[in-house]
């Protein structure tokens, strides 16, 4: 068994990778491919996002090769794809398929907390703690 406290997991500022202000989008890799040894053959990662309020237009559409499932823990999130918009409240989940253009933006002036589960296609490189390098934005 592995126990990871959120207070012990590094917080990484990833806002700049999306063209946002410093400190507006932070991530903690609660479970990643480098957590555990060979007994833990997981092919997923769990990330905790802390999103500060920003304008909806501040976050661009982006996509990535992995599937992404968000569950809102605190606050309210505007989730958008070219096909539509949903407002996800605390307790709601939203699922984006591989390479789907999307964005998720806090609603209101409250900091939002999201748990995000992603799969690890190919060599699983996207499931290692890092600042996003392969995100494509429009």
Instruction: Answer yes or no: is 129 within a domain.
Output: no
* Residue 3 within a domain: no
For the chain, percent of residues with pLDDT exceeding 90: 57
pLDDT at 134: 47
Q: How much is the pLDDT for 40?
A: 84
* 137 found inside a domain: no
pLDDT tens digits for range 67-118: 999 999 999 999 999 999 999 999 999 999 999 999 999 999 999 999 999 9
The CATH number that applies at residue 114 is 2.60.120.10
CB within 8 A of 129, min separation 6: which ones? 10, 12, 29, 32, 34
**138: pLDDT strictly greater than 70:** no
Confidence of residue 24 (pLDDT cuts 50, 70, 90): confident
Judge whether 117 lies within some domain.
yes
Q: Is residue 128 part of a domain?
A: no
**Residue 45 lies in domain:** 8-123
pTM of the model: 0.85
Tally the residues of the chain. Answer: 138
Segment 27-43 mean pLDDT: 88
Distance from the first to the final alpha carbon of the chain: 41
């Amino acid at each position: 068994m592995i126990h990871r406290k959120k207070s012990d997991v590094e917080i990484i500022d990833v806002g700049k990778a999306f063209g946002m202000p410093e400190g507006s989008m932070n991530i903690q890799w609660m479970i990643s491919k480098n957590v555990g040894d060979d007994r833990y053959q997981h092919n997923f990662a769990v990330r905790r996002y802390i999103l500060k309020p920003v304008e909806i237009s501040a976050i661009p559409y982006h996509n990535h090769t992995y599937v992404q499932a968000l569950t809102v823990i605190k606050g309210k999130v505007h989730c958008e794809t070219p096909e539509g918009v949903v407002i996800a409240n605390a307790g709601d989940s939203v699922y984006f398929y591989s390479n789907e253009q999307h964005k998720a933006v806090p609603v209101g002036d409250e900091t939002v907390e999201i748990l995000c589960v992603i799969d690890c296609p190919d060599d699983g490189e996207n499931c290692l703690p890092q600042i996003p390098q392969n995100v494509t934005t429009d």
